[in-house]
Amino acid sequence: MRVLLSTVGTRGEVQPVVAVATRLRSSGHEAVVCAPPDFRAWVESLGIPFVPVGPELRGTAEQGERVLPTPEQRRQMIDGTVAAQFAAVAAGADGCDAVVGGGALAIAAHSVAEHRGIGYVYASFCPITLPSRHHAPPVFGILGEKQPDGTVDNATLWAEDARRWNLMWGEAVNSRRAELGLAPVADVRDHVFTARPWLAADPTLAPWPDANDPDVFQSGAWILPDDRPLDPELEAFLNAGEPPVYLGFGSIAAPGDITSNVVEAARALGRRTIVSRGWADLAPVDGAPDCLAIGEVNQQALFPRVAAVVHHGGAGTTTAAAAAGTPQVLVPQVYDQFYFAGRVEELGIGSAHRDGGSLHAALAGALGPEVATTARALASAVRTDGATTAARRLVEMTRIA
């Protein structure tokens, strides 16, 4: 069996599909990953065939004032990404028995699978992104949108969400479908998500709100095992004192003052700081020895050794910190990060820092003994077999078909 795993996003979307690809390969099957070119060298170093799609994304995390595109620029961007996806996914699907679309921006995957007459699965990495009467749709948070205040019912909000999807993607998607001889789709979101989506999120950390819903298959988070050792300089820093605070925003943009605020709060609480540069190129505010800047790191090895993880609230980092049993402080910026900030607070494994709040207070709360005890207890409930479960189900699905 050969499977194409397609995603358009940053590390938080790419790493999970790579985890499933490695599980498929280890069980004797073939897998191909289609993702932005930023990840080509890494994926190919794992022995996985790679098909690039679209432009490099790293520049989108650079600091600075965000300039919103004009309506015409947005239309051109949409047409461009849809065309690039249809071409790349079609190339990657050669010889495949199924296509997996990972994340909401994998717009072309279902249409290509339909054209090839092969299986298709849509996978979400956060429950709030899937329609449900139990919650409202997420907002992207980059255009000034506000979180729902509960005055409008969820069914109405999801209907509005479907209309936005059609306005944004409908014309471009149906134009490409027509070129393939496929009928137009009336509801782009439902076409992408299907009536039976998969939820690649941990059931304890991010459960589907209706456990008896037969239409959503929750596999558990797709975690890629990592056995890389920590850098000697980082090891020496960890061994030189009490567990430090970790700060990292991964592959997204970060507030311009986040580093100075976290270092200041950590110092006030008697803690050192590790700053992960990430795509935003975060750096220490001074040359003091209580702060160390690092590059890409094995979170599975590092997180159990820090006192708290301060981050943006992406699904991957939130799950890694939860699995490590380490308290968290989430500073959400966009989309599903607001959901994970709420869940961390609800579960008592950390706190959220929102506009107008005190980062010092959020970090002090996360470093409290009760939070540490709760975080350690929850760690044992976080599943690590999600990618294996998903790979097994893909094989079974293809055999039945």
Residue 147, pLDDT score: 67
Q: Above 90 in pLDDT, residue 290?
A: yes
H or E stretch at 292: strand 291-294
Q: Above 80 in pLDDT, residue 63?
A: no
* Residue 55 pLDDT class (50, 70, 90 cuts): confident
Q: Above 60 in pLDDT, residue 61?
A: no
User: What are the structural domain ranges in the chain?
Assistant: 2-224+384-400, 232-379
Residue 398, pLDDT score: 80
Q: Above 90 in pLDDT, residue 380?
A: yes
Provide the phi-psi class of 31: left if phi over 0, else alpha when psi is between -120 and 50, else beta: beta
Helix (H, G, I), strand (E, B) or coil at 122: strand
**Ramachandran angles phi, psi of 133, nearest 5°:** -70, -15
Evaluate whether 46 touches 263 at the Cβ level (below 8 Å): no
Q: How far apart are the first and last CA of the chain?
A: 12
Q: What is the pLDDT of residues 193-205, one digit of tens each?
A: 999 999 999 999 9
* Residue 60 pLDDT class (50, 70, 90 cuts): low
**Domain 232-379 in the same topology as domain 2-224+384-400:** yes
Average pLDDT score over residue span 273-300: 94
Q: Above 80 in pLDDT, residue 58?
A: no
Residue 401, pLDDT score: 56
DSSP 211-257: TT-TT-EE---------PPPPHHHHHHHHTSS--EEEE-TTS---TT
- CA dist 73 and 75 (Å) reads 5
Return the CATH number of 2-224+384-400, one of 3.40.50.300, 1.20.140.10, 3.40.50.720, 3.40.50.2000.
Answer: 3.40.50.2000
* Residue 66 pLDDT class (50, 70, 90 cuts): low
Helix (H, G, I), strand (E, B) or coil at 195: coil
What global pTM score does this model have? 0.93
CATH class of 232-379: alpha beta
Q: CA torsion 184→185→191→192, rounded to 10°?
A: 60
Evaluate whether 81 touches 106 at the Cβ level (below 8 Å): no
> What is the rounded average pLDDT for all residues in the chain?
93
Q: What is the pLDDT of residues 102-139, one digit of tens each?
A: 999 999 999 999 999 999 999 999 999 999 999 999 98
Q: Above 70 in pLDDT, residue 192?
A: yes
Q: What is the pLDDT of residues 246-267, one digit of tens each?
A: 999 988 888 888 999 999 999 9
Residue among 8, 98, 20 at smallest CA distance from 55: 8
Question: Scanning the structure block, which residue is given the tokens 């943009």?
Answer: 253
* Residue 317 pLDDT class (50, 70, 90 cuts): very high
Residue among 15, 60, 5 at smallest CA distance from 226: 15
- Burial (0-12, 13-18, 19+ Cβ within 10 Å), 161: middle
Average pLDDT score over residue span 311-317: 95
| Number of residues written out for the chain | 401
Angle (nearest 5°) at CA 128 between 325 and 320: 20
Average pLDDT score over residue span 62-91: 83
